[in-house]
Amino acid sequence: MNETGNDNKEDILVCHQLNQGSIHSGLASGVEGEPIDLEIGLSQWGKVDEPQPAYYGMVAGEEVASWWIDKGKRLFAKNIRQMLGVTEVNEEIRDTLETTPDKFWYFNNGITVVADSIRKSAVGVNSRDLGSFKASNLSVVNGAQTVSTIGRYKEDNGENLDKVKIPIRLISLEGAEDNFGGEVTKTNNRQNRIENRDFVSQDEEQIRIRKELSIEKVDYNIVRSDTFKSSDISIDLSEATIALACASGEVSLAVQAKREIGKFYENLEKSPYRTIFNPQTSGVYVLNSVRVLRVIEMTISKEISKMGKKSGKSYGLLVHGNRMLALLVMKDLSVAVAAKSYDYEIEQDQVSSIVIEKVLRVQSFIQENYPDKVLGTLFKNATICKALYNQCI
C-alpha cells in the first residue's frame, strides 16, 4: 500500500545493509593507504603469456631508488617480511653498488612484483629494447632487501646507480586462481633466511586483526622489519603472541611462550597458533591484552630495579617466571573475557598490586616444593607450572 499516494514507480531510495566487517574493511582500506600504481621502464624485456601474464627484463637502479623514496615500506605490503636491516646479504648488495655496479645484474637475484593488472604502454611498441608498463596496485613480493638497500644507498648520496641494472619480473594477478599471489610470494623468498613467522603475515586472521587495529589508529606489525618501534600506538606479532598466550588461561601456552615462541608459527592451521589466533580473536582483544602485559612487565622491571644485585632466587623468579606471573595476573583480571570490550580500562595500580601478590605466592610455592630447582628450567616445565598455577590462582 502506498500510504503517501505517490504513484511514481522509480526508486527514490536504495538501502544497502552493511555488517561490521564490511564497515571495518572499508574504513581500514582508507587508513592503510591508497594502492600503489607505478609505470615501470624495462629494457631488454620479454613476455610470458601462460598460465599467467608476466613481463621480465631489467630495471634501472635510479628508478628502483625512486620507488623507495616515494613509497617506502608500502611497496612491500604483501611481502612476508620487510627490511631486515644489516644482514650479510644486504651488506653484499651495498658493496656491489659501491664497487662493481656494472656487475649488479649478474650478482643479484632480482625483484619480483605482483600487480592486479599490468598494461604495456605505447612506448617502444615495436621494440624489445625498451618498454614501459603500467602496474596497478602492485607489491614487491621478493626483493624487498634489494629495493630498500638501493633506496637507502640513494638517500646516503651513493653514486653509480646510473650503472646499475636489476633483473625484474612483473606478474599480473588479473584472472589468476585464488592465492596465486600468495604462492608466488612464499616460493620466491630465498635471499635471506626464511623463518616460520614470516608466513604469518599472509594469514587472513592476522590481516583482519591489522585492519581492525588500523581503524583505532594502532599499527599492528605482522612482518619482520628492522624499522618497527614499539609504542602506545604500535604493537607487533611477537608481543601479541605472548600477550594472547598469557591471557588464554592455558598453562601450556604460557610455558610455550617462555620456552620457544617460534613453535606458535610452525603450523598456522593447528594449535597452538590457531588457539590464540582465530576468527574470535578481535583486534581490540589483542590490543587490550598487550596493554595489560605491558603493565605487568613494567611492574616486574620496577621490582628488578629495586634489587641490589641481579642474581639470586628473587631475581630469577622475576626474570624466568615472567610469563607465569602474567598468566596468573591476567586470570585474576579476567582478561580473557573483559578485554574484548572497547570500554575495557586498565588500572595500573590494581595490576601492579596483583603482580606483587602473585610473586609472593609463586615464591612460597617454589620454596615449599622445589627449593633446589633451577628456575630457568622450572618455568619451562609444563607439569610443574600446571601445579604452580593451580596453587597460586
User: H/E/C letters for each residue in 168-198?
Assistant: EEEEECCCCCCCHHHHHHHHHCCCCCCCHHH
Q: Give pLDDT, residue 332.
A: 96
Tell me if 250 is assigned to some domain.
yes
* 116 and 249 both lie in a single domain: no
Tell me if 13 is assigned to some domain.
no
Residue ending a domain, choose from 193, 222, 245: 193
Domain count for the chain, please give it.
2
Q: Which DSSP category does 337 fall into? A: H
* 250 and 166 both lie in a single domain: no
* 65 and 168 both lie in a single domain: yes
Residue type, 158: G
Angle, CA of 322, 325 and 330, to the nearest 5°: 125
Between CA 15 and CA 294 the distance in angstroms is 44
Between CA 114 and CA 135 the distance in angstroms is 8
* 364 and 244 both lie in a single domain: yes
Between CA 170 and CA 112 the distance in angstroms is 6
Tell me if 245 is assigned to some domain.
yes
The values of phi and psi at residue 46, to 5°, are: -140, 175
Tell me if 248 is assigned to some domain.
yes
228 half-sphere exposure, CB direction, 13 A CA radius = 21
Q: Give pLDDT, residue 195.
A: 62
* 247 and 298 both lie in a single domain: yes
Residue ending a domain, choose from 140, 175, 193: 193
Tell me if 175 is assigned to some domain.
yes
Residue ranges in the chain whose pLDDT is less than 50: 1-11, 21-22, 25, 29, 31, 82-83, 191-192
For residues 322 and 387, the answer to whether their CB atoms sit within 8 Å is no
* 114 and 251 both lie in a single domain: no
* 110 and 247 both lie in a single domain: no
293 half-sphere exposure, CB direction, 13 A CA radius = 26
Tell me if 109 is assigned to some domain.
yes
Task: For residue 129, give Cα distances in angstroms to 41, 119, 165, 168, 318.
Answer: 10, 17, 14, 15, 65
pLDDT tens by residue, 276-304: 999 999 999 999 999 999 999 999 999 99
* 278 and 137 both lie in a single domain: no
For the chain, helix, strand, coil in percent to 5 are 50, 15, 35
Tell me if 226 is assigned to some domain.
no
* 171 and 241 both lie in a single domain: no
Q: Give pLDDT, residue 191.
A: 47
Residue ending a domain, choose from 193, 225, 242: 193
* 293 and 378 both lie in a single domain: yes
Q: What pTM was computed for the model?
A: 0.61
For residues 223 and 354, the answer to whether their CB atoms sit within 8 Å is no
Domain of residue 76, residue span: 35-193
Task: For residue 309, give Cα distances in angstroms to 70, 177, 327, 359.
Answer: 50, 61, 26, 18
Residue type, 212: E
* 189 and 254 both lie in a single domain: no
Tell me if 278 is assigned to some domain.
yes
Between CA 130 and CA 57 the distance in angstroms is 9
* 124 and 244 both lie in a single domain: no
Q: Which DSSP category does 263 fall into? A: G
